[in-house]
Amino acid sequence: QVQLVESGGGLVQAGGSLRLSCAASERIFSRYYMGWFRQAPGKERAFVAGISWSGGSTYYTDSVKGRFTISRDNVANTVYLQMNSLKPEDTAVYYCAAADRVVTGWSTRNMDYWGQGTQVTVSL
């Protein structure tokens, strides 16, 4: 059982930046594909960014391309989401997720483990 703990959320003005972190309990962290998802009030949880085992491949939903960067440190068992040029529409609870397989489709049903989420609020 992999435990994931997110941190780094908060309140920021539009145009600002935040860096989310997700620490994993699993010793063999490098075998997991990792992703960030978000859920806004009244909406379904949606894919934001994903990264392969080694970090060699990254994936983004169109609305965050050029603004968000996902990265991982397999020694520290941590995945990061650097969020720049934040917009009010980025406001959501952000969840870290892990998949114990190669992920070809970044949907919630393809992820095996989830963190508890961290709130990101972007004000005008």
- 99 residue type, one letter: A
- pLDDT bucket at 2, cuts 50 / 70 / 90: confident
Mean pLDDT of the chain: 95
Long-range contacts of 70-74 (CB under 8 A, 24+ apart): 70/34, 70/36, 72/34, 74/29, 74/30
Residue 6 pairs in a beta bridge with: 22
Query: Which residues in the chain belong to E strands, given as ranges?
Result: 4-7, 10-13, 18-24, 33-39, 46-51, 58-60, 68-73, 78-83, 92-99, 113-114, 118-123
- pLDDT bucket at 123, cuts 50 / 70 / 90: very high
| pLDDT (tens digit per residue) in 23-77 | 998 777 888 999 999 999 999 999 999 999 999 999 999 999 999 999 999 999 9
Over residues 76-83, mean pLDDT: 96
